[in-house]
Amino acid sequence: MLDASHNPDARSWVQSANAADTDFPIQNLPYGRFRCEATAPWRAGVAIGDQVLDLHAAGLIASPDIAHVMNRLASVRLALRHAIFVGLSEGSTQQTAWQGALHAMRDVELGLPCEVGDYTDFYTGIHHATTVGKLFRPDNPLLPNYQWVPIGYHGRASSIGASGQQFHRPLGQVMKPGDTVPQLQPTARLDYELELGIWMAQGNDLGAPVPIAQAEDAVWGLTLLNDWSARDVQAWEYQPLGPFLAKNFATTVSPWVVTLEALAPFRVPFQRPAQDPQPLPYLDSEANRRAGAIDIQLEVWLQTPAMQQAGSAGQLLSRSNYTDAYWTLAQLVAHHTVNGCNLRGGDLLGTGTLSGLEAAQGGSLLELSQGGKQAIALNNGETRTFLQDGDTMVLKAYAEAPGARRIGFGECRGTVMAARGR
């Protein structure tokens, strides 16, 4: 539903929010947490241009805790968005009072948007699933349940970090071709996965499924998510119960939660190919068919140590779009709870790797390098099949449409360090 807060001509008295290239114009207003000192508690804030508005200092919430934003009913969250929009709008009577509640983004530390409750990673990218399936099962790339049920696994919440996360190359068991005994070693096939993260605002009682018609009311918003993956470890361990050590060593998310309200102008119909099975009734609704998908452009950038030393921001590796996902966020929430599972505020759902149809739109190196068989040539003369120590991956995303102000997600940045003791 569109309202005055989506007006593309609306301007803010925070001048940096009016720049054409900002991710955070007044039409966006994403939530996150920040602190001015390393030992200070986290405070709830909103990104506006290159500034952060302290919501408690501005008198908008009762305490600095982000839960006072996240755990509210959808109608209350919408009212808060409107109050922030009015107060930050050009000519607002709040300008003088709120000036002191602003902090330059460059001067603060940005953390996880909230304390992470639980973490589930889905597998909604059908192009990724098909391409990867062909690498391991050339004659049967897409398993028969994929088009009927949103596939997912439970990940590790404790290793989720905010953009800027640095982690050591993980160790794991690897069975090399021709060997009969596995070895414990640092992964040689470290990869990224381009995903979106879905943050829950409210939970459901144990045993009470969330109908698809109510699923989006329980969602706070979206961030970028990088599901780092050790492919050689994964190949050895994933049968029969799925990923374990290959995935749980690090997951990186962007710090700003872009709300579903901000993404309203970028809604598009959700459609399955006519020849594919249509969702079961609990995964289907008229509203989901009409506007269940969201047009979000996604980008993956690689910055090698050599690029960083040369002052280069890195190289664009691929682009894709969230509209290629095989399941919508409402379907993920409805399916996750259909058995009575209770989600809680602060729980995180990963979409799974969001690749496009074309080979160049792969959301992982596993796809772009064809399983490590074809090295990717970089502009500075380097090559990559999988990530090397010192490499930094940067995920970016933005939404734009005719008659709407472009909004962005900020960066999701993470860096690989050498394995411990190496």
Active site positions, annotated? 128
Neighbours of 342 (CB within 10 A): 16
- CA–CA–CA angle 139, 144, 149 (5° rounding): 145
Contacts with 170 (C-beta within 8 Å, 6 or more apart), sequence order: 186, 187, 190, 230, 233, 245, 249, 250, 419
* Residues pairing with 417 in the sheet: 168
Judge contact between 88 and 35, C-beta under 8 A: no
Distance CA 398, CA 265 (A): 12
Query: What does the block give as tokens for 72?
Result: 């509210």
Please, where are the H alpha helices in 256-386? 286-291, 305-309, 329-337, 365-368
Distance CA 278, CA 274 (A): 8
Distance CA 220, CA 77 (A): 9
Query: What does the block give as tokens for 299?
Result: 């980008």
Which residue type is seen at 209? Answer: P
Judge contact between 186 and 422, C-beta under 8 A: yes
Does a cis peptide bond (omega within 30 degrees of 0) precede residue 240? yes
Which helix (H) or strand (E) segment holds residue 46: the answer is strand 43-48
Judge contact between 399 and 268, C-beta under 8 A: no
Distance CA 185, CA 170 (A): 8
Which helix (H) or strand (E) segment holds residue 99: the answer is helix 95-99
Closest CA to 197 of 150, 160, 166: 160
- CA–CA–CA angle 139, 144, 147 (5° rounding): 120
**CB crowding 1-38: b at 16 or more within 10 Å, else e:** eeeebbbeebebbbeebeeeebbbbbbbbbbbbbbeee
